[in-house]
Structure 1
Amino acid sequence: MAQPDAPLRDHTRGARALAIAASILAAAAAGMVFQIYGAADGVGVLDVLRSTLIFLSTWWLAWGAATALLGLTSRQRPPVARITGPITGRTVVIVPVYNEDPRITFARIAAMDASIIATHSGAQVDFAVLSDTRDDKIALQEQHWFARLLARQHGEGRMFYRRREKNTGRKAGNIEEFITSSGAAWDYAVILDADSLMEGDTIIEMIRRIEAAPKLALLQTLPRVVGGRSRFGRAMQFAAGFHSPIFARGLAATQGRTGPFWGHNAIVRIRAWAESCGLPELPGRAPFGGHIMSHDYVEAALLARAGWLVRLDDDLEGSYEEGPENIIDHAKRDRRWCQGNLQHAKLLCAPGLKPWSRFVFVQGIFAYIAPLIWLAFIAASIAAVYWVEIPDYFPEANWPFPVFPNDQTPKAIGLAVGVFGLLVMPKLLVALDAIFTGRARGFGGIGGSLRAVLTELALSSVIAPILMAFQSRSVLQVLLGRDGGWPPNNRGDGGLDIAEAWAAGRWISFLGLAGMIAIHLMAPVLTLWLMPVALPMMIAPLLIWWTSRNASPHAFPVPEDTKIPPILARHDAVLAAWAISTPAPTATMVAEAKLG
């Protein structure tokens, strides 16, 4: 069955044009505010600088808002082809691991295998665990629990385990080695992370869709975050479940045939991957040189360059992952993504890439330099107040905030309204959409979902300056040549004590305090306006600690709270069974577990 692609292409062109036009117009309007209100006293260098900075910042915010609006209006999807008869292709589920808890990882595999068997689809689906674990003790545990997995699932001949001696190229290199050495045995590969879980029905549906579309090389799902326990983790889990489907629908509308790849919870056509996705080693030393860290976006671009279709199907349910439980773990993961995205600067002029792939690279880079642009805008605003003649502002003015010199108040009001509109309004519109469509029922009903949306908005606003500080430090470290490496993810409880929070966030406190002192001395009229940025920074350790504490069971409700997905129930059942009886593996079982 042929994949319909003309409607997809036409729809994508219109969505891209609309999103680009809307974001540029919003950015231009924001920049003009500073030009218009600065014209009365003449437009100076600082006015031009601030207009440029606010144009860039507003463009980034407006692009996100445009994506959300497209998601709200993109109700009709092009028809999706899928085979309805027997599945003929063979599929391997790839699970890369790196110093993970093997008991939990292999329990996930057992749950997914049982879920696939329960579909009675007759599809040949195997599993390959690709270990890059550096810790020998953990590696021995991996062998033990893999043998346990084989015994439970009768997996001999269809479940494999391999540990590399050298983790060249990290996860991307691990998968590349596997595809090169063993990939010809299968037609498709479902690529997961160690914390991924997918329903058997979802995996089978992905196989049916890729088998029906000969030009489809990669099909990405939208994973839902599960397992959140802390205030930070629950807030991220709620935002991912409530807002992300709308944003993903808008993203799918703009990216079309040149869709995203997020590195996991996706299915790929092995022949297309083998022909197209050999990653280069970038010239020079890390952090900009060496192996590509954010490899997923590059692999999607290489597939598109070769003429293959890369698609995000946001309608697929039953795809799950875990998220970080505290700000520190989030910042560690974000540091790796920062270095990887900034590496893409070396790929912008790579030959043959699709224009949209280059645009996606620019977006990824801009996502990390945007905080520096905001900081530069704040610095330029302080300079504009400090270096101009500051008349006494008028006490008789009936205004609750200080009036800026040279009639700067309209600029500040316009900026505040613009930021509110571009950051807050899309989420409120998503909330209204969820109420009218009935989707809010799974998130606590109308009242519960609205409370959760407002609480998440308040929490994200408070911790935004802290995240901006971590992100800005990451960018500066990369620009200064510091390689962040690839630290393992913390899949544990995530709770922090106050000493750990102080050690991780004290530099942000000092930075916020120093900033407020400087503002008070140089431009006291800005003190109250910049307090929402400086105050969270000054109490950063307290916020880091508080958000890592366990949340109330009723905070940030999600559908998984009331109706546990079958795959999560299967996973919990496997863990419970293994807690009762854990026999040691025999030498024969361990030998059979190794992938040749």
Structure 2
Amino acid sequence: MASAAANRARLIAASATVSLLSTWLFVQFSAPGGFNTLDGLRVALVAISTFWLSWGALLGIAGLFYRPKNSAPLPLSPPVGRCAVVVPIYNEDPVATFSRIAAMSAGLSRLGLHDQFDFVVLSDTNSPEITAEEIEWFDRLASQAEARGHFFYRRRSENIGRKSGNVEDFIRRSGAAYTYAVILDADSLMSPETLVLLARRMDADPTLGLLQTVPKIIGARTFFGRIIQFGASYYSSTFARGTALIQDAQGPFWGHNAIVRMTAFADNCGLPRLSGKPPFGGQILSHDYVEAALLSRAGWKVEVDPDIDGSFEEGPENIIEYAKRDRRWCQGNLQHARLLTAPGLHWWNRFTFLQGIMAYLGSPIWLAFLAASILSVGMPRTSYITFSQQVASNIAAWSLVGLITSLLVLPKFLIVISSALNGTNRKFGGMRAVLASAGTEIVFSSLIAPITLLMQTRSVFQVLFGIDGGWPATSRNERSLTLKQAWEASYWIVMIGAVVLAVTLAIAPNLFLWLLPVIVPMALAPMLIAYSSMVSDGRDGLLLMTAEEYNVVPTIDARDRVRSHWQSA
């Protein structure tokens, strides 16, 4: 297998080639009438956006060629090191959180391997009512579990540093008692076999500082939630394999569902407080990428293994909750601009920071290209266009549209074909069910793309203009939205769509049909947001079903039984 450095070089070269081809096609499309003052800007925007678009697409395609490292399977035997399963919580539903811990604990007891694992709940809850519930349900958890004495609850009176500060405080106070820590989110769930495997993998490689799993989303009930759940369950492992292929030992950390070596994390991952005020100063919000870079700088391996099963989380159930979470990630990723020149970091970690930044700058770049294109049509051209030049221009335009569409759809299509060949589709209900689900996901993702583009653009401008989004508590129970709620959250998108339509008809009517796929979703934003938040059970039509829904997963089933029992009590 080629080295990670060679794979990185190939991927960068391939993305640059696609970017150059896209730019050349755009120039051929624009050139016949002569260039005006906006065309140079449009060329630059096309080059930048298609590079990063092709980067994401090629990452997924590269994952199809991933081959896991040759390593013998590790037996389910007690790990050498003691492990803390750390669960930071902040105004969460205690029944939901502690029922997950109860299911994981029961699984470890069933395997007879609980002695090396403690569950540590780190509460930053600031609601007195929820705090009282946490104490009540934790007492029930600790008293009813087989492995008594392996549960700890600690609540901070001051939420300093938020989640990363909470974990850091635990490591400073109690980290020396443990060799490893599995860091979870409040909605995370892991099978006991996975917990043991992670610790055994750390035992087997003393240079491994962090091992990240690829969690699958479970428990979605709304149409939007099921779209996200299907995509994560069906596509994510392939894209993560592409990440593993090029990042190797300088891999990612996503902040949860991962195991860290306690000494490595404690010695190297103390986060600085950035100078100045938020949003660019203050606490680092997207701490996970920074912690991974600091471990790599100190010589520790940071790896992601897409082939580890039994790692789960829950996702947002509507577009508004998704946008709230995305707003925090946007601010955190843009903060990384200040860390690009931090001393001692590997160049690949700097590139990862840049990749995260461009994940959000890509939206305003596309919006700027759209605006420049509308305005450019209304500006005078310097030469007369012949019929043959017009034909060539149209061919170039449609070729560019086809190329961009391919970048968006081709990786998913290839994953469907590959999954059919290796038998994965059978776990998702067979080829017919997969095609229906994948087609639904692609169509709906295309429909809401203009909506999410505007939401991300707003987030970017809020950060650039100094508006701090903070770290709001996650509303995991927020599901269905009324049309009124959707309108209140998205009326500004409808207004922007109306302005784009009016300006297009006034100065660039020949672009009207081209812009319909953008304008129509903007106009329908409240309806799309409200409809997609409706509770939707795909079992009737076998639509958007995942492998975890077709086959009973013992840990998920145990969590459901505990939660049902507690809620009835």
Cα distance between partner residues in 2 of 1:38 and 1:406: 12
Q: Are 1:494 and 2:479 counterparts?
A: yes
Q: How does 1:370-449 map to 2 (within 5 A)?
A: 370-389=362-381, 408-449=393-434
Q: Indicate the residue corresponding to 2:548 in structure 1.
A: 560
Cα distance between partner residues in 2 of 1:102 and 1:66: 41
Amino acid at match of 1:455: T
Give the C-alpha shift of residue 77 in structure 1. Answer: 3.0
Sort the Cα spacing of 1:49 and 1:207 in 2 relative to 1 into closer, same or farther, 3 A. Answer: same
Q: Indicate the residue corresponding to 2:222 in structure 1.
A: 230
Amino acid at match of 1:36: Q
Give the C-alpha shift of residue 76 in structure 1. Answer: 4.5
Q: Indicate the residue corresponding to 2:565 in structure 1.
A: 577
Work out whether residues 94 and 127 of structure 1, in 8 Å CA contact, stay in contact via their aligned partners in 2: yes
Q: Indicate the residue corresponding to 1:90 in structure 2.
A: 82
Q: How does 1:174-573 map to 2 (within 5 A)?
A: 174-389=166-381, 408-553=393-538, 554-573=542-561
Cα distance between partner residues in 2 of 1:577 and 1:201: 24
Amino acid at match of 1:560: E
Cα distance between partner residues in 1 of 2:518 and 2:384: 25
Give the C-alpha shift of residue 329 in structure 1. Answer: 0.3
Cα distance between partner residues in 2 of 1:87 and 1:73: 32
1:50-107 CA distance string (max 9 Å, x none): 1111111101110011111111112343437857764221000000000000111011
Work out whether residues 32 and 390 of structure 2, in 8 Å CA contact, stay in contact via their aligned partners in 1: no
Amino acid at match of 2:564: A
Give the C-alpha shift of residue 13 in structure 1. Answer: 1.7
Give TM-score scaled by structure 1 length. Answer: 0.92
Cα distance between partner residues in 1 of 2:319 and 2:148: 41
% of aligned pairs identical? 47
Amino acid at match of 1:331: A
Sort the Cα spacing of 1:503 and 1:38 in 2 relative to 1 into closer, same or farther, 3 A. Answer: closer
Sort the Cα spacing of 1:408 and 1:526 in 2 relative to 1 into closer, same or farther, 3 A. Answer: farther
1:409-459 CA distance string (max 9 Å, x none): 334312211111100011101111111111011112011101111111000
Sort the Cα spacing of 1:12 and 1:210 in 2 relative to 1 into closer, same or farther, 3 A. Answer: same
Cα distance between partner residues in 2 of 1:88 and 1:552: 44
Work out whether residues 221 and 535 of structure 2, in 8 Å CA contact, stay in contact via their aligned partners in 1: yes
Work out whether residues 215 and 313 of structure 2, in 8 Å CA contact, stay in contact via their aligned partners in 1: yes
Q: Which runs of 5+ in 2 are unaligned?
A: none
1:477-500 CA distance string (max 9 Å, x none): 000100001111111151111111
Amino acid at match of 1:449: V
Sort the Cα spacing of 1:404 and 1:293 in 2 relative to 1 into closer, same or farther, 3 A. Answer: farther
Give the C-alpha shift of residue 41 in structure 1. Answer: 4.3
Sort the Cα spacing of 1:498 and 1:84 in 2 relative to 1 into closer, same or farther, 3 A. Answer: closer
For 2:129, what is the secondary structure of its paired residue? helix
Q: Are 1:29 and 2:21 counterparts?
A: yes
Q: Indicate the residue corresponding to 2:6 in structure 1.
A: 14
Work out whether residues 329 and 490 of structure 1, in 8 Å CA contact, stay in contact via their aligned partners in 2: yes
For 1:324, what is the secondary structure of its paired residue? coil
Cα distance between partner residues in 1 of 2:517 and 2:114: 58
Work out whether residues 61 and 422 of structure 1, in 8 Å CA contact, stay in contact via their aligned partners in 2: yes
Q: Indicate the residue corresponding to 1:50 in structure 2.
A: 42
Work out whether residues 109 and 146 of structure 2, in 8 Å CA contact, stay in contact via their aligned partners in 1: no
Give the C-alpha shift of residue 45 in structure 1. Answer: 3.5
Cα distance between partner residues in 2 of 1:485 and 1:233: 24
Cα distance between partner residues in 2 of 1:364 and 1:86: 38
Q: Indicate the residue corresponding to 1:591 in structure 2.
A: none
Q: Indicate the residue corresponding to 1:148 in structure 2.
A: 140
1:126-167 CA distance string (max 9 Å, x none): 011000111111011100000010111155432110110111
Cα distance between partner residues in 1 of 2:391 and 2:35: 12
Give the C-alpha shift of residue 374 in structure 1. Answer: 0.4
1:375-418 CA distance string (max 9 Å, x none): 11111211221102599999xx9xxxxx9989753343122111
Q: Indicate the residue corresponding to 2:111 in structure 1.
A: 119
Cα distance between partner residues in 1 of 2:77 and 2:394: 67
Cα distance between partner residues in 2 of 1:407 and 1:295: 49
Sort the Cα spacing of 1:488 and 1:431 in 2 relative to 1 into closer, same or farther, 3 A. Answer: same
Work out whether residues 35 and 43 of structure 1, in 8 Å CA contact, stay in contact via their aligned partners in 2: no
Q: Which runs of 5+ in 1 are unaligned?
A: 1-6, 398-402, 582-596
Two-structure CA RMSD over aligned residues (Å): 2.1
Q: Which runs of at least 4 in structure 1 moved beyond 6 Å after TM superposition?
A: 390-394, 403-407
For 2:470, what is the secondary structure of its paired residue? coil
Amino acid at match of 2:49: S
Amino acid at match of 1:325: E
For 2:3, what is the secondary structure of its paired residue? helix
Work out whether residues 76 and 197 of structure 2, in 8 Å CA contact, stay in contact via their aligned partners in 1: no
For 2:322, what is the secondary structure of its paired residue? helix
1:12-60 CA distance string (max 9 Å, x none): 1222111111101000111112233444444444332211111111011
Work out whether residues 108 and 114 of structure 2, in 8 Å CA contact, stay in contact via their aligned partners in 1: no
Work out whether residues 34 and 47 of structure 1, in 8 Å CA contact, stay in contact via their aligned partners in 2: no
Amino acid at match of 1:496: L
Give TM-score scaled by structure 2 length. Answer: 0.96
Cα distance between partner residues in 2 of 1:419 and 1:78: 37
Cα distance between partner residues in 2 of 1:92 and 1:301: 23
Cα distance between partner residues in 1 of 2:204 and 2:146: 30
Sort the Cα spacing of 1:105 and 1:85 in 2 relative to 1 into closer, same or farther, 3 A. Answer: closer
